[in-house]
Structure 1
Amino acid sequence: MTQYDKASDLKKMNEDAMFEYIQETPAVLQGLLDHRKEYTKEFVDNFVKNKYEKVILIGSGTSYHGSLSTRAFMERTLQIPVDANYPLLYMNFTSVFDRKTIVIGTSQGGESKSTIHGLEYSKKHGCYTVSLTEQGAESKLAQYSDMALKLNCGEKELAGPKTKGYQATMLNLILLALETGLAMGTIDEDYYNSVIERIQKTINNLQNVIDASVDWYNRNRDEFVIGKRMIVVGYDNNYGNVLEGRLKIEEAVRYGIEGYELEEFFHGIYHSIDEGVHIVYLAQDGNSKERAIKLRNFMHDYTPHEFMIGNLHSDNPQDLSIEFVDDKEFCIFEYIIPLQILAFFCSKDLGINANIPKIVNFHYLMGSK
């Protein structure tokens, strides 16, 4: 058990810890980018030596969402199949293996039993296994992996709903693929440098996104605090953010939050919308943006509580309309922040200390950690 496993200890934590970790995110990502060669070297050297032909990413909750958000970039960069799945679904649905497969299990705290079982299953089938955790080689998960990597996300994240660890997970996976792709020759130096510049540009804008997100929440506080059902809608690689945002808000405000891919929303969800439903749309630039705006305008006849996030050139106070970098692949680092901000401030305004779990010893009782 950690020092914050007891309710009495949790109450002593700074109630603003979650927000402080959100504010640390730009510095955490900058540190990862600056030290990328050092942090990825062991992985890259092993990959070049063994020339793996498939990557499987496993993890639960936030770790899975981070894997899902980066899977496509990793696949394009490495030019081999990359899958992302929950550990138990992976074990249930995957039965054909190749010894040229590398499995990366992510668990920020390093104690997820389902991810441990997933790595054990992988080793049993001859796969090379990697753990990615806050503690690196000191984590429980490391005992079940051939290689133990650290998230390098700064001071241990002790707040209830995790925030900076999500973005750190995504950037770690991106950098592992990027450095490996350069070493393997699947990308060239010019492309590599352009990606680094794009990531840097996104990191440079994150403090602007944090500040604007706080203003956006404050403008709409009275609407957010009366919510009893909220839906997050998004598309493309922001779908991972839809799932992660849903989880963060649900962990913090403690009522049912739903998350849907844009087109999936059209398949029956609209039937359940009434004036009590709050809908948050992630509308990054791309082919689906106009469709998202069309849906928002249509659904406004059924609920007045609609909030859109993106480069919108909108003066609607419900919208978070600012200059996002909106990089096609790296907007994932920007668009999660408003949902993290919403989770923290709404829970605080509802009188909930998100650091204190509703059931403090849940994982112990359920045997999940």
Structure 2
Amino acid sequence: MKSIADYVALEPEYYQSILDNYQTLFVDTIDLSQVKQFNSIVIFATGSSSNAAYGARPLMCKILKVPVYIEDPSIAANYLHYSDPNTLYFAISQGGESYSTIHLVEEFIRNNQTIYTLTSNPDSPLYKISNNVLSMGIPIEEMPYVSAGYSVTILDLILIALVIAQKNGSMDDQQFASYFDQLRKVAGLLPKVIEQSQAWVNQYQHKFYHSQRVIFIGYGATYGTAREGETKFTETVRNSAFGKELEEYMHGPYLGLDEDDNIVFLEPHGVLSDRAELLKLFLTKHVKNISTIYANNSSNLKPDDLCLNIDIDELYASLFMTIPVHLLSYQVSKLKGHNLEKSTYPEFDEITSSKIKRI
């Protein structure tokens, strides 16, 4: 079985393949003919799929100039109501086995509503019950703790937004090409990001090995990265981890800080960078271990910071800034002696039916 690191190494290849085949994946499959006045997008997702959607949302909103909402499929199916004919609905489940997502899509189909499902598994229950399936454009990720699939979901959602904008006439060919060129730029720089990230992880993994609690803080496109840090570090290292939006952390959670917390800022060099620096200034008075992963270079570098040196708009940062987070989670889990190929609690799915293997 491939490891998390193996799948991270495949991300440049996956990105390039999706960019080469986006027309087959999305242009030929998304139909806007029934949408008279395009008002918004709602994405239903949980876990890493939800984290990825948060990473893609800021750029999607800029491209489409409409709100993009992210909802939990269990709450949506059981307690909420969606029937706006001018909203496009998407459900994401990479493996296509998430009970709550399958249940939600079944509800949409039962009510004769259109919902697009994004998955990588053509043999999954979600794929089989869906009427409008979008392929993620990658093979099934064998490792249960997804890494490449998370990153690919972000790229897919951005491309879906570009395709919709082109189809509804809100973006011309020149604007489309400009966005697309930036995506190609990121894909071409991924090998360098992986190399730099691996070197940083090798040097500082022991600091995180001894941490009792890790807190990831991001904003804008890196809010999804912070959420994914919480998810992946908790899953693989099996230690306390939290992923917070910058202002969210400043409005309450900071009161629970401890001097032994290990805090990681995810800095895309965006509109809230000054706010992040003020928070760091406060935290340095109370916390010993603070590091920053920068999308680009910085004049405020500390020895344990990581600069990825990608000169690009902050809204693209989610496409590459989770790479060091995934590699860090993986290598610290190895230091802990955890076998990620074996379920920690094999009875969990059997008892809860959280995953549906077949229908």
1:346 aligned partner, one-letter code: V
Shift of 1:229: 0.7
- The residue aligned with 1:233 is 217
Distance 1:132 1:74 in 2: 16
The runs of 5 or more residues in structure 2 that have no matched partner are: none
1:190 aligned partner, one-letter code: Q
- The residue aligned with 1:325 is 311
Determine helix, strand or coil for the equivalent of 1:231: strand
Shift of 1:278: 0.5
Q: Is the 8 A contact 1:325 1:331 kept in 2?
A: no
Determine helix, strand or coil for the equivalent of 1:280: strand
Deviations 1:281-327 (A, max 9, x none): 00111121122122223212222111101132455221002312342
Distance 1:276 1:75 in 2: 38
1:330 aligned partner, one-letter code: Y
- The residue aligned with 1:345 is 331
Q: Is the 8 A contact 2:44 2:71 kept in 1?
A: yes
Determine helix, strand or coil for the equivalent of 2:60: helix
Q: Please, which of 159, 162, 165 is the counterpart of residue 181 of structure 1?
A: 165
Q: Is the 8 A contact 1:239 1:261 kept in 2?
A: yes
- When normalised by structure 1's length, the TM-score is 0.90
The runs of 5 or more residues in structure 1 that have no matched partner are: 1-12
Determine helix, strand or coil for the equivalent of 1:308: strand
Distance 1:366 1:149 in 2: 28
Q: Is the 8 A contact 2:217 2:245 kept in 1?
A: yes
Given the alignment of the two structures, is residue 280 of structure 1 paired with residue 264 of structure 2, yes or no? yes
Distance change >3 Å, CA 82–CA 271, structure 1 → 2: closer
- The residue aligned with 1:47 is 32
Q: Is the 8 A contact 1:213 1:320 kept in 2?
A: yes
Aligned positions of 1:1-369 closer than 5 A = 13=1, 17-44=3-30, 46-48=31-33, 50-51=35-36, 53=38, 54-92=40-78, 94-136=80-122, 138-154=123-139, 156-310=140-294, 311-369=297-355
Q: Is the 8 A contact 2:234 2:241 kept in 1?
A: yes
Distance 1:341 1:246 in 2: 13
Distance 1:307 1:318 in 2: 6
Number of equivalenced pairs: 352
Distance change >3 Å, CA 120–CA 220, structure 1 → 2: same
Which moves more between the two structures, 320-329 or 201-210? 320-329
1:172 aligned partner, one-letter code: D
Q: Is the 8 A contact 2:58 2:220 kept in 1?
A: no
Determine helix, strand or coil for the equivalent of 1:363: helix
Determine helix, strand or coil for the equivalent of 2:90: strand
Determine helix, strand or coil for the equivalent of 1:115: helix
Q: Is the 8 A contact 1:65 1:241 kept in 2?
A: yes
Determine helix, strand or coil for the equivalent of 2:143: coil
- The residue aligned with 1:10 is none
Q: Is the 8 A contact 2:262 2:290 kept in 1?
A: yes
Determine helix, strand or coil for the equivalent of 1:233: strand
1:39 aligned partner, one-letter code: L
Distance 2:290 2:67 in 1: 38
Shift of 1:133: 0.9
Distance 1:356 1:217 in 2: 24
Q: Is the 8 A contact 2:51 2:227 kept in 1?
A: yes
Shift of 1:331: 0.9
Distance 2:206 2:325 in 1: 16
Deviations 1:95-141 (A, max 9, x none): 251234432111111111100111122234442022111124x3211
Distance 1:50 1:97 in 2: 12
2:129 aligned partner, one-letter code: Y
Q: Is the 8 A contact 2:264 2:291 kept in 1?
A: yes
Distance 1:351 1:141 in 2: 34
Q: Is the 8 A contact 1:201 1:325 kept in 2?
A: no
Distance 2:75 2:82 in 1: 14
RMSD: 1.9
Identity %: 29
Distance change >3 Å, CA 100–CA 242, structure 1 → 2: same
Shift of 1:345: 0.8
Distance change >3 Å, CA 40–CA 51, structure 1 → 2: farther
Distance 1:125 1:81 in 2: 24
Determine helix, strand or coil for the equivalent of 1:43: coil
1:265 aligned partner, one-letter code: Y
Distance 2:19 2:46 in 1: 25
1:150 aligned partner, one-letter code: S
Distance 1:34 1:362 in 2: 39
Q: Is the 8 A contact 2:206 2:332 kept in 1?
A: no
Distance 1:327 1:41 in 2: 25
